[in-house]
Structure 1
Amino acid sequence: MDSNTAHSPVFMVFPPEVTVPEFHRTATVHEPTMPFPKLLTTKIKISGTIQILLGLMNFSFGVIFVFTFVNPFPRFPFIFVTGYPFWSSILFINSGACLIALERKGTETLVKMSRTMNCFSVLAAAFGIIFLAFGFILDQNYLCGYSGEVSQCQAVNILFLGILSMLMAFSILELLIAMSFSIFSRHFDCCDCEEWC
């Protein structure tokens, strides 16, 4: 056999009734890997975003407590002394960021990290609810007990109780979101993560 004939191209001619398979359609579309059903992926992203917003709002109310410290106040409010608005906001933002990262790329490590951060968020929200309940009891007449001016007392006391009420609502909402993710993610423990991830 001659070396020139070994590398000569071969042309195939097909009759009109035979179709040529289309090789350019062999590329498959890959869905994003996620250890949860598609219905839950958008809910996970929304929950993570809400957790980040709750953390930012908790931090903002903590900053407001810093600027409301004026002369008639004998001390900082109990909730500010515990530092709850600051350390809870760090945990809430981290757990929300883990959920958003989990929605984008679902790996076994991210699932475990999201569960851990949400467990910490559940604990932080539970402690926050307890601290806020004590804050309502201890600081009920926070300014009115020390200030002789009734007009200033009422205005600042209403603002103070409103901030405590908002912090309580944020803590309850964070508790529900973090607990719901922790509960729903336990249902997928039976599945092998390697087939999803």
Structure 2
Amino acid sequence: MILALGVFLGSLQYPYHFQKHFFFFTFYTGYPIWGAVFFCSSGTLSVVAGIKPTRTWIQNSFGMNIASATIALVGTAFLSLNIAVNIQSLRSCHSSSESPDLCNYMGSISNGMVSLLLILTLLELCVTISTIAMWCNANCCNSREEISSPPNSV
């Protein structure tokens, strides 16, 4: 969903490039693309580690989940900054010499999409932090043998 919304935001920037307002900051950072790639990669590695729980797959999954949580935190900062910039840009729509209706319309669409991206990014952050917490609980506390490798039969 983040990737699809990011592509839609990117497609909106070109027809309305004549607007002098900064509605599409998030697309310029590339977050909708690399954020979605990191989250899909961490999810895929988590599924593979669940199917084939070797030490290598589990460590790779853990590392990618940490990277995905970090990317989600950065994305949250970018999206929050984008909403703050949009609010300032919407205030200047009324004083622009161009059509204020189009400016308000584009600002409202951008605010709505960026808000939805922010909600999805926060959900992504919750999922990755939950996965990291479960991994740490299972691997660090008291059940290292159960996670790292199956026991050898005699």
Bin the TM-score by the shorter chain: 0.7 to 0.9
2:81 pairs with 134, 139, 161, which one? 134
Q: Which runs of 4+ in 1 moved over 6 A?
A: none
Deviation at 1:147, TM superposition (A): 6.2
- Contact 1:147–1:153 (8 Å) recurs in 2: no
**Which residue of 1 is the match for residue 19 of structure 2?**
73
**Which residue of 1 is the match for residue 45 of structure 2?**
98
Structure 1 residues 97, 147: CA separation in 2 closer, same or farther (over 3 Å shift)? farther
**Which residue of 2 is the match for residue 194 of structure 1?**
149
Deviation at 1:115, TM superposition (A): 0.4
Is 1:120 matched up with 2:70?
Answer: no
RMSD: 2.1
- For residues 71 and 28 of structure 2, the distance between their equivalents in structure 1, rounded to whole angstroms, comes to 15
Quote the sequence identity (%). 25
Is 1:157 matched up with 2:107?
Answer: yes
- Contact 2:38–2:68 (8 Å) recurs in 1: yes
Q: Which amino acid is 2:81 matched to?
A: F
- For residues 62 and 115 of structure 2, the distance between their equivalents in structure 1, rounded to whole angstroms, comes to 28
Please identify the structure whose Cα radius of gyration is greater.
1
- For residues 59 and 180 of structure 1, the distance between their equivalents in structure 2, rounded to whole angstroms, comes to 22
Residues 68-89 of structure 1 show CA distances to partners (whole Å, capped at 9, x for unaligned) of: 1214323662111211111111
Higher helix proportion (structure 1 or 2): 2
Unaligned runs of 5+ in 1: 1-56
* Aligned pairs for 1:7-18 within 5 A: none
Unaligned runs of 5+ in 2: none
* Aligned pairs for 1:55-74 within 5 A: 57-69=1-13, 70-74=16-20
Deviation at 1:132, TM superposition (A): 0.9
- For residues 150 and 82 of structure 2, the distance between their equivalents in structure 1, rounded to whole angstroms, comes to 49
**Secondary structure of 1:187's match?**
helix
